[in-house]
C-alpha cells in the first residue's frame, strides 16, 4: 500500500463528479414499478441499487470498497444533512437529517447482519414487528449479495484476503481483525454512499474491534497498515472539498465522520487505541475526526501520545473529559451504561454507542436582544428573568423529531439495525424503536450574549453612563448615534475570556439560563434534552439576521462561535482563557466545542498539563490547533502553496484552502495564543 499515492489521488480527484452508478440505478428504479409504502420502496431500492453497482478495487487497497465517480447528468436536489441526491430519492428520511448518528458496530462484527436479523425475529411479536423483520431479512440479503460480488472482484484483483473476508462479512460475524475492519467498512460505505447520509460516526470503534485485535508484536505492522487503509478510505465518502464550498454532488456531501477513542471502559484496548493514533499520524487527512476521551485515571502513555499527536495533526483531534461528561449525561437522563459509552457525532451531538439524537440550533444572542428590548425590563434582575423566559420559549420550539405510529406509518431504514433498541423492539428508529429518545440543543452566541449582559450591567447599573432606554436607542442605531461610545464598549468593556470577574459572572449567568431552559424540556416531552455550546458555522448566518448587540457588535456581524470568546477579545493568554471557561456552569452541559489556537508547538507534557488543569475545573471539551497567523494569511493569498494544510474550523477539520473566504478569515481572526 502506497499512502502518498492514495493521498495524491484523493487531492487530485474531480470533486464536481458524484457517485454516478448510484444515481443511474436510482433513476432506473424510479422508472419501474415502485412500491407505495416506504419500507417496501426503501428495501426494493436498496436491492436494485446494490445489484447495479460495480466493484472497483484499487491496487493499493487492503480493505476494499469504493464508489465509482462520474459526471452526474440527472437533476439533483438537496437532502437533509447538507447533501444532494437524485430527485425522488427513495432513501430520504422523514423529518430528520440523513445520517448524523453514532453506530454500534460491536454487534455487527460479533454476529453479523444475520445474527442481528435473528434477534429481530425473536422480538417480532406483532404484525408491525413482523413487517420490520421481513425488511431486515431482505436488506441483509441484498448486502450479502453485494459483498459476494465484491469478493469475486477482489479475488480477480489478487486480493485473496479481502475476497475471503467478503464471502463472510458483513452478513456473518468477523473471525479476525481484517474481516472485522472489512465488515465495518462495507456497512459504512453502503450507508454513507448508497442509502446516503453524512456523519455516520464510527463511535467507540476501538472497543468494537478489540476482541479481534492481536497484541503480539509481530502482528502490529500488519494491523497498523490495515487501519491506515481503513482511514484512507474514510476520506472517499464525501471528498476533501469544504462542507460549504464546491461540494461533491453525493448524498453524504463532505461528511465528517467521528471516531471516539480511549476513555472509561476502553482501558483494556489501550494498545489498539494507540494504534489508531499511529495510523492517523501516517495518513494525515481530515477524516475521520478524532474524538479522544481522557480522565484523571487515563494511562500516562495515552495522555502524552494524544497531546503529542493533537499538535501534529493540526486540529483533527479533540479532547473530551470523562470525569465531567459521564456525570453530566447521567444528570441529564442517560443511563449509567449509555453515559459511560457516550460518543459524539455531527461535531457535538452527545449520543452513546448505537444512538441517534435529533438536534436544533438556537440563536441565544437574538433571544438576549428580545429581553434587552423588553419594555417591562427596568433592572438587572428583570433582564435576567426576561432572558430566562425567552430561552424557555426558544427551547420549546425544538421538542425533537416527529415519530410515526408503526401501525399507521411504518418505516424501515438500514441504519436501524445498528442502533440500540431498534433490534430489541423490532422497530425502526422513526417509529420510536431506539433507546433514550434525545434532543441536542446547540446554543449559539454564548460569548456575544455574555459580553452584552456585562456591557449593560456596567454602563447602566454600575457606572450609570447610560440609562437602559439610552443604551437601547444606541444599540438600535447600530451605534451610529455615538460611534465613539460604541468603540469604547466594543474594545474596552469587560469581555469573557480574560479571567475578568464581571464578564465571567455574566457568562456563567447566561450559560446557566440557557442550559436550564433546555434540560427542563424533559418534563414537557419525556425525551432527554441536552444543552450544548456549539454553533457549527451557523453563527455566521444567524449573525446576518441579528441586529447590533449591546457588546458593540454591529448588525449582521457573526455571533461568537461555540463556547469560545468573541474572536480577538481574549487578550490575556491561555491561563486567563481557561480560567474564564472554567467558571461556566459546565456541569449542566452535555456537549461543547472549545477551540484554542496556539502559534507554535509546545512540549506534549505542557499541553497535557493545560488540558488536565482545565478539565479539573469541569471543562468538557478542548481542541488545540497549532497554526500561526502568518501561515494562514499566506495560505489564503497563495493557496497553491498549501494544498494539504488542515485546520480545525468549528467542530471538525478541513483543508484550509478549500474553505470559503469568510471561514478562512475566521480562522485568521481567531485569537493566536503564545504559551
CA distances to 91, 136, 173, 211, 519 from 170, rounded to whole Å, are 21, 14, 7, 16, 39
Residues of the chain with pLDDT under 70: 80-82, 252-254
CB distance 567 to 663 below 8 Å: no
CA distances to 104, 179, 496, 632, 647 from 209, rounded to whole Å, are 11, 10, 43, 38, 29
Rounded Cα gap, residues 417 and 594, in angstroms: 33
Q: Please give the model's pTM, rounded to 2 decimal places.
A: 0.95
Place of cell 468603540: 487
Rounded Cα gap, residues 551 and 375, in angstroms: 19
Question: What pLDDT score was predicted for residue 252?
Answer: 67
Question: What pLDDT score was predicted for residue 625?
Answer: 87
Question: What pLDDT score was predicted for residue 81?
Answer: 62
CB distance 420 to 202 below 8 Å: no
Domains and CATH numbers, the chain: 3-356+408-436 (3.20.70.20), 357-400+440-565+578-588 (no CATH)
- Cα–Cα nearest to 53, from 139, 154, 145: 145
Range list of β-strands (E), 562-669: 591-592, 595-598, 621-626, 646-648, 653-655
Phi-psi region of 457 (alpha: psi -120 to 50; beta: other; left: phi over 0): alpha
Amino acid at each position: 500500500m502506497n499512502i502518498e499515492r492514495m493521498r495524491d489521488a484523493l487531492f487530485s480527484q474531480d470533486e464536481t463528479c458524484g457517485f454516478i452508478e448510484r444515481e443511474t440505478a436510482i433513476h432506473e428504479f424510479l422508472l419501474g414499478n415502485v412500491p407505495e409504502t416506504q419500507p417496501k420502496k426503501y428495501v426494493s431500492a436498496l436491492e436494485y441499487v446494490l445489484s447495479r453497482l460495480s466493484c472497483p478495487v484499487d491496487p493499493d487497497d487492503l480493505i476494499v470498497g469504493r464508489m465509482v465517480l462520474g459526471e452526474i447528468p440527472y437533476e439533483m436536489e438537496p437532502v437533509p444533512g447538507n447533501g444532494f441526491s437524485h430527485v425522488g430519492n427513495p432513501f430520504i428520511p422523514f423529518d430528520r437529517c440523513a445520517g448524523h448518528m453514532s453506530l454500534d458496530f460491536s454487534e455487527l462484527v460479533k454476529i453479523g447482519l444475520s445474527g442481528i436479523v435473528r434477534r429481530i425475529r425473536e422480538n417480532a411479536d406483532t404484525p408491525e414487528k413482523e413487517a420490520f423483520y421481513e425488511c431486515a431479512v431482505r436488506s441483509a440479503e441484498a448486502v450479502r449479495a453485494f459483498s459476494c460480488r465484491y469478493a469475486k472482484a477482489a479475488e480477480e484483483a489478487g486480493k485473496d484476503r479481502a475476497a475471503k473476508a467478503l464471502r463472510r462479512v458483513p452478513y456473518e460475524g468477523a473471525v479476525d481483525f481484517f474481516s472485522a475492519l472489512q465488515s465495518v467498512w462495507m456497512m459504512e460505505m453502503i450507508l454513507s454512499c448508497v442509502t446516503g447520509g453524512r456523519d455516520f460516526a464510527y463511535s467507540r470503534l476501538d472497543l468494537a474491534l478489540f476482541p479481534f485485535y492481536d497484541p503480539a508484536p509481530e502482528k502490529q505492522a500488519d494491523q497498523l497498515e490495515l487501519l491506515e487503509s481503513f482511514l484512507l478510505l474514510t476520506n472517499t465518502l464525501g471528498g476533501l472539498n469544504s462542507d460549504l464550498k464546491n461540494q461533491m454532488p453525493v448524498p453524504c456531501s463532505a461528511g465528517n465522520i467521528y471516531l471516539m477513542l480511549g476513555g472509561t471502559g476502553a482501558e483494556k484496548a489501550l494498545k489498539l487505541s494507540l494504534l489508531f493514533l499511529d495510523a492517523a499520524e501516517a495518513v494525515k487527512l481530515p477524516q475521520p475526526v478524532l474524538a479522544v476521551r481522557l480522565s484523571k485515571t487515563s494511562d500516562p502513555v495515552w495522555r502524552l501520545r494524544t497531546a503529542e499527536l493533537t499538535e501534529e495533526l493540526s486540529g483533527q483531534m479533540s479532547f473530551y473529559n470523562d470525569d465531567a461528561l459521564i456525570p453530566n449525561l447521567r444528570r441529564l437522563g442517560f443511563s449509567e451504561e449509555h453515559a459511560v459509552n457516550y460518543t459524539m457525532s455531527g461535531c457535538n451531538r452527545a449520543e452513546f454507542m448505537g444512538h441517534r439524537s435529533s438536534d436544533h440550533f438556537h440563536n441565544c444572542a437574538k433571544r438576549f436582544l428580545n429581553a434587552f428590548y423588553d419594555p417591562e425590563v427596568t433592572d438587572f434582575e428583570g433582564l435576567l428573568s426576561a432572558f430566562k423566559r425567552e430561552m424557555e420559549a426558544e427551547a420549546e420550539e425544538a421538542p425533537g423529531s416527529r415519530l410515526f405510529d408503526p401501525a399507521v406509518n411504518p418505516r424501515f431504514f438500514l441504519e436501524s439495525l445498528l442502533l440500540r433498541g431498534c433490534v430489541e423492539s423490532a422497530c425502526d428508529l422513526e417509529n420510536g424503536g431506539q433507546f433514550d429518545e434525545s434532543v441536542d440543543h446547540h446554543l449559539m452566541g454564548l460569548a456575544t450574549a455574555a459580553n452584552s449582559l456585562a456591557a449593560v450591567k456596567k454602563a447602566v447599573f454600575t457606572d450609570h453612563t447610560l440609562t437602559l432606554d439610552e443604551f437601547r436607542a444606541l444599540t438600535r442605531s447600530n451605534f451610529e448615534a455615538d460611534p465613539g461610545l460604541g468603540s469604547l464598549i466594543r474594545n474596552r468593556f469587560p469581555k469573557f475570556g480574560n479571567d475578568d470577574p464581571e464578564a465571567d459572572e455574566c457568562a456563567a449567568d447566561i450559560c446557566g439560563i440557557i442550559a436550564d431552559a433546555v434540560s427542563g424540556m424533559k418534563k414537557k416531552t419525556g425525551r432527554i434534552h441536552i444543552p450544548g455550546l456549539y454553533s457549527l458555522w451557523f453563527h455566521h448566518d444567524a449573525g446576518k439576521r441579528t441586529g447590533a448587540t449591546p457588546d458593540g457588535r454591529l448588525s449582521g456581524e457573526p455571533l461568537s462561535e461555540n463556547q469560545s470568546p468573541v474572536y480577538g477579545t481574549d487578550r490575556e493568554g491561555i491561563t486567563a482563557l481557561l480560567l474564564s471557561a472554567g467558571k461556566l456552569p459546565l456541569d449542566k452541559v452535555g456537549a461543547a466545542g472549545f477551540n484554542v489556537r496556539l502559534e507554535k508547538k509546545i512540549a506534549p507534557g505542557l499541553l497535557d498539563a493545560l488540558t488536565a488543569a482545565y478539565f479539573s475545573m469541569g471543562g468538557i471539551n478542548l481542541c488545540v490547533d497549532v497554526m500561526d497567523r502568518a501561515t494562514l494569511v499566506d495560505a489564503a493569498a497563495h493557496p497553491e502553496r498549501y494544498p494539504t494544510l488542515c485546520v480545525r474550523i468549528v467542530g471538525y477539520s478541513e483543508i484550509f484552502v478549500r474553505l470559503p473566504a469568510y471561514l478562512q478569515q475566521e480562522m485568521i481572526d481567531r485569537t493566536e495564543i503564545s504559551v
